[in-house]
Structure 1
Amino acid sequence: MTWRGSAYELARRLGEHAEAVCRAYLSNGHRSGNYWMVGDVRNARGRSMHVRLKAVGGKAAGKWVDEQNGEHGDLLDVIEASCGLTEFREVADEARRFLAMPRAQWPTSRAQPQPAVARGSPDAARRLFAMSQPIAGTLAERYLAGRGILLAARERALRFHPGCYYRDLVTGETQTLPALIAAVTSVDGRISGLQRTWLDPAGNGKAQLIDPRRSLGHLLGNAIWLGLEPGLPIPVMAAGEGVETMASLQTVMPALPVAAATSANHLAGLSFPPGCRHVYIAADADAAGRHGIERLSQRAGESGILALVLRPQLGDFNDDLRHLGPAHLAAWLSDQLVPEDARLFLPPG
């Protein structure tokens, strides 16, 4: 059976259990007559989307339409959107799990099913980011606060997904877990990828996974930008690997745009914004990213940009923030910044 045939059959079988599917994946809605009413296909609260629960007059069960934006589809689309999936096989596997059907044996040749949106594409990243919500009042905000990180309410790069799809790459088992979603963008603010950090549902930090953090999309040259105002010049910035490290610097220097490149290799290839004249590079005490720091410093010098390395007292700047406190971290940084930048970005005192 082709993947299109598989999709048709799965959608039909899901339609036979349309109400149960809606209760599982569109839990913010409710039944009204022969329809399930909800805000949208991503499980927002509201009434603009309705799902037909039983076939009527030749119209199949499980079909839905959103009156507000004109979107329409079937229950496979509901599973895809509500779970934040990006590949057809992931959607099919989740549908089979719900229907208690055996997992499909996908071919490994070049004839294997192709997803509508390729894994790792910027489009997939933008879709998942759009499915997510602002972090205020969520488990993601609680996770960051637990690490001492307090960001401006207007921060748009970080979001929260309550049930982000996770696949164990060894066993193939899947589950949905809450996740911090961080947009990877170019300096003009266009999303090219993202990073998912899966969280413990009980609020105890990251989820207990072998790899609780994964990225997708086009990362090279781009970064998770915090404190970035697209369109404004960025004469001074800071760059480093991890989002928690850079968010810690932003906590004590909220006016300083910072870029988390997600890895040492991506740090080495980070693109500088036009007009940048000064970049601070955040180091870890273990020097695991020494190559990235050295390469970025070299590229900065070649571009006529002054590069200075900021060093933490403990393992990284988030360790400093959590264990020493923001006032101590600010004082520590003041001796490493150019005096003009210290006056501009650090709180007085």
Structure 2
Amino acid sequence: MMARDASDLAHRLGRQAEAVCREYLSSGRREGRYWMVGDVRNTPGRSMFVRLIGPESGKGAAGKWTDAATGEHGDLLDVIRESCGLVDFRDVADEARRFLSLPNSEPQPTRDSGRKAPAPTGSPLAAKRLFSMAQPIAGTLAESYLRKRGITVLHGAGSLRFHPRCYYRPDEHSPTETWPAMIASVTDLADRITGAHRTWLSLDGGDKAPIDTPRRAMGDLLGHAVRFGVAHDVIAAGEGIETILSLRCVLPHMPMVAALSAAHLAAILFPATLRRLYIVRDDDPAGDGARDNLIERANAAGIEAIVLSPVLGDFNEDLRTFGIGTLRAAVRQQLAPEDVARFLVLAA
């Protein structure tokens, strides 16, 4: 029989509680009547326990879990949501049906399980929840991916996180998939999360995932950005996260923002204290257009605009092709003299 609501799905999952845990909480292990793991996001540890044996509903039901460290509790739908990084209930339900080998339908979420109501797909709230589900990138496949791209300076990168099983659907007619992903928070000038950007990764972290669109953004993006450092009088602004992180390898103390596209770069909002803007240009027609628009806007606001141009397509390509020493020398020639001493890290 096709599942029609969240309660039915949770009951069905509870009947296969151990199999669900082995699939979505693989960092844990069975101990007696429980599955022990670090938390609902599949972190190694022992503070969270899932009941593997018990009645279908009520106190002590199979599939119910509690995290003794945080007081969090829920059912196996919550496990799927958190461990996969899903924020839309439809996606959680579809993933549960995939696991249970059930056909898809359009169930409505119930409100008696203690779970949050699903956020609208693609909304700022959905972005905020997705970012909160992810973990710091240190020691993860996201860090491996960035280092593979030549990016070794990752201090002050709190806007980046990692999710080991982030939900991916090519289109509304295709089956769901899960891939590791680097998650970036998009914030406004007051540091409120308005969106999120996902870069799905290969299973070994060596490259982007072999999917049609390995990068996608969600939420309210216009005017906002992925931020590194706290902006004052000087910032650098560019399109891509990896472009900006490459520049931070030689200018680690300069606040920077990644707007995620040329159109959004042209529309970034300026902090009230900004006096000099470095425009990190990509070498393509869209990058030229963003550069021209930003120069005009900055000049109108009384902000000095200086363009930083790569030798090749972007600064990550320069870093990987020529190395950090050549990148440092090229950037130094384009900086305002006072910013060389203030921001540029010389070779050791």
Q: Give the gaps of 5 or more residues in structure 1.
A: 108-113
1:219 aligns with 2:217: no
Determine the C-alpha separation between the residues in 2 that align with 1:221 and 1:167. 27
Instruction: State how 1:13-24 maps to structure 2 within 5 Å.
Output: 13-24=12-23
**Aligned match of 2:100:** 99
SS at match of 1:43: coil
Which of the residues 165, 172, 175 maps onto 1:173? Answer: 175
2-structure distance, mates of 1:276, 1:2 = 57
DSSP-derived class of the 2:196 partner:
strand
Q: Deviation per CA, 1:259-298, whole angstroms, max 9, x where unpaired?
A: 1000112112111122110001111122323332222222
**1:222 and 1:270 in contact (8 A); partners too:** yes
Distance 2:51 2:142 in 1: 34
**Counterpart Cα distance in 1 of 2:117 and 2:266:** 32
Partner of 1:144: 146
- Aligned counterparts of 1:92 and 1:105: Cα–Cα separation in 2: 8
Secondary structure, counterpart of 1:252 in structure 2: coil
Which one of the candidate residues 255, 265, 269 is aligned to 2:263?
A: 265
From the superposition, tell whether residues 340 and 96 of structure 1 become closer, same or farther in structure 2 (CA, over 3 Å).
same
Q: Which amino acid aligns with 1:9?
A: D
* Residue matched to 2:133: 131
Determine the C-alpha separation between the residues in 2 that align with 1:315 and 1:243.
14
Give 1:323 deviation, angstroms: 0.7
AA aligned to 1:246 is I
1:66 corresponds to which residue? 67
Q: CA RMSD in A?
A: 2.3
Structure 2 CA distance for aligned equivalents of residues 259 and 149 of structure 1: 16
Q: Is 2:246–2:316's contact at 8 Å kept on the other side of the alignment?
A: yes
- Is 2:280 aligned against 1:282? yes
Identity of aligned residues (%): 54
Amino acid at match of 1:84: G
Amino acid at match of 1:12: H
Tell me, in whole angstroms, the C-alpha distance in 1 between the residues paired with 2:58 and 2:275: 66
User: What's the counterpart of residue 113 of structure 2?
Assistant: none
Secondary structure of the residue aligned to 1:210 is: coil
2:93 maps to a residue whose letter is: A
Query: Whole-Å Cα distance in 1 between the matches of residues 333 and 265 of structure 2?
Result: 24
Q: Which aligned pairs between 1:272-311 and structure 2 lie closer than 5 A?
A: 272-311=270-309
153 and 239 in structure 1: CA distance in 2 versus 1, 3 angstrom threshold: closer
Could you say which residue in structure 1 is the equivalent of 2:31? 32
Unaligned runs of 5+ in 2: 109-115
TM-score normalised over the length of structure 1: 0.90
Question: Could you say if the C-alpha distance between residues 348 and 10 of structure 1 is closer, same or farther in structure 2, counting changes exceeding 3 Å?
Answer: closer
Matched with 1:191 is 193
Count of matched residue positions in the alignment of Structure 1 and Structure 2: 338
Partner SS, residue 206 of structure 1: coil
Question: What is the match of residue 155 of structure 1?
Answer: 157
